[in-house]
Amino acid sequence: MAAAAAAAAGGARRAPVLSPGAMNPAVRRVEYAVRGPIAARAAELERELGQGVPKPFTEVIKANIGDAHAMGQQPITFLRQVVALCLCPELQGHPSVPADAEARARRLLAACGGGSAGAYSASPGLQPVREDVARHIERRDGGVPARAEDIFLSAGASDAIVTMLKLLVWGSGPSRTGVLIPIPQYPLYSAALAELDAVSLGYLLNEERRWALDVAELRRALSEGRRRCCPRVLCIINPGNPTGQVQSRECIEDVIRFAFEEKLFLMADEVYQDNVYAEGSTFHSFKKVLMEMGPPYADSVELASFHSISKGFMGECGLRGGYMEVVNLHPEVKAQLAKLVSVRLCPPVPGQLLLDAVVDPPRPGEPSYERFQAEKQAVLSALAERARLTEEILNRTPGISCNPVQGAMYAFPRIQIPARALAAAKEKEQAPDMFFCMRLLEETGICVVPGSGFGQKEGTYHFRMTILPPTEKLKLLLQKLSDFYTKFVREFS
């Protein structure tokens, strides 16, 4: 019968079930500039260089993404020792392995199924790791209590952020969930909201005030959003990505009051909390400030905060580890969250193990303490110096202005684009800053991300670049970028 049916169809090939016209339309709306067309072209150029194709540069410098180890940062020894011992227990007792790393590994392996890091963990993560995270949060916040049952481990912060958004997004038409996100924003948020069919409500950060957050602007965005959806969530990135600002305690208190008054769920993306460089800037966690504000805020404002092993001084992007802490979550909702994370079975166990070494580092007097502190401080000091250099060198170039990089690991400079370049970009059907960034890549090998991929005030143009390249390479990058910009302006003036 099958053969007869095929013959009756004249041997015509069956149309695909999944076709461009028959797929989830929300996926088409997803955009992620950090790994978008610029990054794709950078990869092509690297292949062409490897094949001997002549270029006006000898290497592609990928300053588009916060991937510390890809940019040459060395792993922190203690963190890798703990993970290595867990993955290869036969290394225990090796003379090069310090006793404190062995003790951490033995404790963690005892919590793994069958004593193996290859076993599934519980869906919210290994219990000892959740307990260590809670103790770490208490130390960070000066004794404000934290509980292991409020900690959910994840495959990096991104995974936890999307999981929380899944719980928060519901409704249709005027009741569809609206989510307030900063502009400029990290494209994870706009991409996840497009995929979930939620409404992105952008609130502008104030570039003239070093990318400050203004509650009056929050109110404007909220009021406008209520005309077309039901705003339920306020996302904050502190320290900022891509903008590098660090929020004051006063600002955080204002945001918490605003969330309380307007009945908004707070999501605090705090993955850069170790990356604070500017004099006078201090990281304040939303959890600590919320608890210290007392009732009615402390016992009613719902908060989810996020951290990751991908940033900080660790830079362990590929191992995919992170955590989310939830505060004031309704018990039934928390049960649904536990169910949702169980669908993915568990976060990657190596990432959990490394996270534990981060939150339970060597203590004074232990064999690894001095080396760990020296390596950590060397990374953070180098980043602080590169933050200063980036601001200083970019601001020397007429037409480029760059706010201080107070924290995180990016600069978001503003560039003036001549009218003829705007017209050339329009001809190519490209955003003006995409046109600039693509020309920069093709002529210098420097890969940065156009500001339009993060959102920006209408009529302004920016790009985001990391401060991660080694200092000497960063100086070269900045000088080449400055020279290219001067040439670009001359060409299109």
- Enumerate the domain spans of the chain: 26-72+372-492, 78-102, 120-359
Instruction: Name which of 224, 220, 225 is nearest 193 in CA terms.
Output: 225
356 pLDDT band (50/70/90 cuts)?
Answer: very high
Reported residue count of the chain is 493
| Domains 26-72+372-492 and 120-359 belong to one CATH topology | no
305 pairs with which residues across the strands?
Answer: 268, 325
* This model's pTM is above 0.85: yes
CATH number of 120-359: 3.40.640.10
What's the confidence (pLDDT) of residue 29? 66
Region 478-492: what's the mean pLDDT? 91
Contact 305, 285 (CB under 8 A): yes
Residue 107: per-residue pLDDT = 92
Closest CA to 137 of 286, 354, 350: 286
- Per residue in 78-113, pLDDT (tens digit) is 999 999 999 988 888 888 889 999 999 999 999 988
Superfamily for the 26-72+372-492 domain: Aspartate Aminotransferase, domain 1 (3.90.1150.10)
Q: Nearest-CA neighbor of 405 among 392, 393, 388?
A: 388
Q: Residue 309 in 3-state DSSP?
A: coil
pLDDT at 75: 93
Cα distance between residue 252 and residue 238, in whole Å: 10
Q: What is the pLDDT of residue 267?
A: 95
